[in-house]
Structure 1
């Protein structure tokens, strides 16, 4: 079972790289680019929207949201674009996963705003 999970995770990582190259292709429709950019940025972000230390919900985005987003984004892409992107993804996977610190910083700002909002609500009571 562990081997199957590792294989699944590797395939998911490859599909994210496919999306990364597919959204850069000029043949990709704008709506597919926009959705793919969001999925790729979140997948490459070093910080999760829901931190992993939160029981059950922490892994929800990694196990359900990212794979569903990848699946939908791949369905939006033209077949010719996907074929080219798969070849590029094979090469890129040899170099490891890039980090998207911009999205990571945005997620940190969302958490700071949420905590600040909660503190303001409870302090003003």
Structure 2
């Protein structure tokens, strides 16, 4: 039986998220992608931020598995122009950093797993981005 994208992503994330270095490497990569993004995190408690990231990615994964979009809509609200002011074009950099970090940390990573991640979480990212 063929696995769904959400199953593939759930398992891939499971292989990565128990390693705190995954989240550290993600932020090193993400902040390295743009001075604007680096500046967003200038006065941030990164340990707390990594915890939020862990939960945020899980919300995207759970949405791909059929869960309600309520938490993603709340994330969109907090990240909109009146909240953290996360510009819509930055989500591509976020996804690129995530995929590169998954490639580094998921021992089973493959082009198929990368494609599954893109298909599974892009709809959830779009919900967050469209709140802007």
Structure 1 or 2: more helix by fraction: 1
TM range (shorter): 0.3 to 0.5
Query: Which of structures 1 and 2 has the bigger CA Rg?
Result: 1
Greater relative contact order structure (CA < 8 Å, 6+ sep): 2
Q: TM-score scaled by structure 2?
A: 0.33
